[in-house]
Amino acid sequence: MAMKIRLARGGSKKRPFYRIVAADSRMPRDGRFIEKLGTYNPLLAKDSEDRVKMDVERIKYWLDQGATPTDRVARMLEAAGVSEKADRNNPKKGTPGKKAQERAEAKAAKEAEAAEAAAAPAEEASAE
């Protein structure tokens, strides 16, 4: 059975609240889980103690059993000092999309034309 440590969403509309759970990876996000391991309330301040509460011993147990944490839970575990920090690399994150690249190229071409037009009268004046 493939185990995951992941977030299960609760709370009402626009008021999210998450449980950190150990669940079978084949179960739905908010569906059946094996054990509740903690809570996460994203509406609280980042420095609040109650924002993330975890049962670290049980999480370590599930990690030893072969459970894999999701990306978000892995970041929480890193912040709590349970697991070592993993290297993340997303080289495409900072690159603009296609439309933005087209706009930038068009703007550069327009500026180049304006620079040439400004340079042409200056050359004629110096030739005289």
Please check whether residues 76 and 100 belong to one and the same domain.
no
Task: Report d(CA 22, CA 17) in Å as an integer.
Answer: 16
Asked if the structure places residue 87 within a domain, the reply is: no
Please check whether residues 67 and 100 belong to one and the same domain.
no
- pLDDT tier at 27, thresholds 50, 70, 90: confident
Asked if the structure places residue 28 within a domain, the reply is: yes
Supply the pTM of this predicted model: 0.67
Average pLDDT over residues 13-30: 91
Q: Is the pLDDT of residue 1 over 80?
A: no
Please check whether residues 8 and 68 belong to one and the same domain.
yes
Q: How many domains does the chain divide into?
A: 2
Domain carrying residue 73: 3-80
What pLDDT is attached to residue 12? 92
Please check whether residues 15 and 71 belong to one and the same domain.
yes
Per residue in 35-88, pLDDT (tens digit) is 999 999 999 998 888 999 999 999 999 999 999 999 899 999 998 888 888 777
Q: Single out the residue of 107, 112, 110, 109 nearest to residue 96, CA to CA.
A: 107
Asked if the structure places residue 91 within a domain, the reply is: no
Asked if the structure places residue 86 within a domain, the reply is: no
